[in-house]
């Protein structure tokens, strides 16, 4: 089985300039693998959840409406040894909304 998920939120801050090179995703569908509904997001798409969001749109809101059983976020952000706790906190905030 093959499934393609495109990134929605394209950052233009810090070391990122993705909006210049890519088009934003417009379709939101959970992936069904062996009966498990998965919300698959790409990097930044998971992060727009705080009180002062960087973007007007939150991709996980669209996926949560499909009642996923599992959330997977794939990312290849520049490594930083002190971001692990922040990443966990964002994941927890998203999971609590399901």
For 51-67, the pLDDT digits (tens) are: 778 888 889 889 999 99
Q: Is the pLDDT of residue 91 over 90?
A: no
Interval 64-81 mean pLDDT: 85
d(CA 13, CA 8): 15
d(CA 31, CA 38): 5
d(CA 6, CA 37): 17
Average model confidence (pLDDT) for the chain? 85
- What pLDDT digit, counting tens, does each position of 7-32 carry? 988 878 777 888 788 888 888 999 99
Q: Is the pLDDT of residue 48 over 90?
A: no
């Amino acid at each position: 089985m093959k499934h393609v998920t495109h990134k929605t939120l394209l950052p233009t801050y810090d070391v990122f300039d993705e909006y210049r090179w890519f088009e934003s995703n417009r379709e939101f569908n959970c992936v069904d693998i062996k009966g498990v509904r998965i919300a698959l997001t790409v990097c930044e798409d998971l992060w727009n959840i705080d009180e002062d969001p960087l973007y007007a749109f939150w991709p996980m809101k669209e996926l949560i409406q499909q009642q996923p059983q599992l959330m997977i976020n794939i990312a290849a952000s520049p490594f930083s040894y002190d971001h692990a706790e922040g990443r966990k906190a964002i994941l927890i905030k998203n999971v609590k909304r399901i």
